[in-house]
Structure 1
């Protein structure tokens, strides 16, 4: 396998499971020094497992909504590996309710994790990349619902729409500095977030994808790795839909 990330340091937030885990495994397999960030200690188990396979990873427990935690994540990464070359800002939570039934505390939590968390990780990653003067790549995990709405996802869609425009604005600010910032926009992916759905709802989600199934975390991870690699050297400010055709109909 090509080692597109050899001698590069990668942070993956929300890296303990789902899309984040798949991305951490892929970055590691392509030679990256991978920092797995998560609130769950499963991230340490993943790091230990990857290290036992000969890869170079570490786990840093991080609450992406806590500014001091995010500072610590970036600073500790640089202290250990000497640089920060790639950020995959993946950490996020779901949530469904109609707007008039959405509790304000639930709204704030979804916005806090899915938008404020991405902002904080971008802020401190960009500051480090500017300090290095070697550029870097950031991929933000957005969503199809950062592009199109759907009944019941008002808070989630508001946060993800914010991520899309944050990415585009940051691109305008930092592209000339060699920092590329893009979004990956997955459809519904077969991850632990969907594990507890009733089968009827699961089948309804499948029907919304013309390809006829849910996505796999590994399929999103491959898109993330592409955007983070030099293969995408002329791509910045983009939203790459990995959605099985969801937004085409």
Structure 2
């Protein structure tokens, strides 16, 4: 079998920066054919510029467009030699703030990208992952915010709870086909999202709020390694970072305490 036939292929949405970029580099360094999609073409160029060798591919992708998903994955499959082993539903945005202060457009954009984009990605990925099963995998990037909903996180938490639910449902639905489905739940990760404010009525960055709360910021490379572990493992939900693991443990064994802590945190913020 030739080296090209042995080379596996992974496609990552939201590959222009942050977690998507880290996953692309991690898999490329281990000999995979890497494809990325994003609305930010300049960012994708930067990502591919960090990958040595010629086994890389990029194409503009708005995950809210079902037809684009179909076209991009088909084109990548051809470029990769006819097979796609892994698709990573990574594209997502952060939205935060009191629910009554959010604009309808802010809510709709978060729901459309973080939920509809994941569902469309799963739909389009199925036919490709079926061809390379058993062992093919859909990886869905969720969040610790999909484990516990906190004050000012209603829309974002809703979207990430949904991602975890989608992963669980597809884990059952696709099991007879030999396709794995899982979710990755990071806590606060060192990405450009930390520099944002969460919503337009706030001037305070997410990073400053995280640091003020004394929470850890996890290196993005840990997420990439966890995705690698997920592709080669068989768990359903993967936690990344100390905060995510503590939240998951507390939610399971001390739900009353978690609820009290979240309410106290909201009171301290004047909510």
Specify if TM > 0.5. yes
User: Match for residue 243 of structure 2?
Assistant: 245
Q: Does structure 2 conserve the Cα–Cα contact (< 8 Å) formed by 1:97 and 1:153?
A: yes
Preserved CA contact (<8 Å) 1:118 1:163:
yes
Q: 1:153 offset after TM fit, Å?
A: 0.9
Q: Does 1:226 align with 2:224?
A: no
The 1:200–1:9 alpha-carbon spacing in structure 2 relative to 1, beyond 3 Å, is closer
Equivalent residue for 2:63?
64
SS at match of 2:10: strand
Q: Measure the CA separation in 1 of the matches of 2:49 and 2:7.
A: 20
Check conservation: 1:10, 1:86, Cα contact below 8 A.
yes
The RMSD of aligned alpha carbons is: 1.9
Q: Kindly provide the CA deviation profile for residues 142-198 of structure 1, in whole angstroms up to 9, marking residues without a partner as x.
A: 000111111111111111111111111111110121100000000011110112427
Residue 87 of structure 2 aligns to a residue in which SS? strand
Q: Name 1:149's counterpart in structure 2.
A: 149
Distance 1:175 1:32, change over 3 A: same
**CA–CA distance in 2 between the matches of 1:48 and 1:216?**
21
Q: Which residue of 2 aligns with 1:36?
A: 36
* Residue 93 in structure 1 maps to residue 93 in structure 2: yes
- Residues 135, 177 of structure 1: 8 Å contact kept: no
1:16, 1:89 → 2: CA distance? Answer: 13
Distance 1:152 1:242, change over 3 A: same
TM value normalised by structure 1: 0.88
| Total equivalences in the alignment | 233
Return 5+ residue gaps in structure 2 as ranges.
Answer: 1-5, 197-204, 251-271
Check conservation: 1:89, 1:141, Cα contact below 8 A.
Answer: yes
Instruction: Say whether the 8 Å CA contact 1:29–1:55 is kept in structure 2.
Output: no
Please give the TM-score of this superposition, normalised by the length of structure 2: 0.81
Q: 1:59-89 CA distances to partner (integer Å, 9 max, x unpaired)? A: 1110001111111111111111111100111
Contact 2:86 2:129 in 1 (8 A): no
Q: Larger Cα Rg: Structure 1 or Structure 2?
A: 2
The answer on 1:46 being equivalent to 2:47 is yes
Is the CA contact (8 Å cut-off) linking 2:8 and 2:32 kept in structure 1? yes
Deviation at 1:36, TM superposition (A): 1.3
* Structure-2 separation of matches of 1:192 and 1:221: 16
CA contact (8 A) 2:83 2:131 kept: no
Aligned match of 1:108:
108
Task: Identify the match of residue 203 of structure 1 among 196, 211, 216.
Answer: 211
Provide the C-alpha distance between the structure 2 equivalents of 1:152 and 1:161, rounded to a whole number of angstroms: 15
1:77/1:22 Cα in 2 relative to 1: closer, same or farther (>3 Å)? Answer: same
Is the deviation greater in 111-120 or in 122-131?
122-131
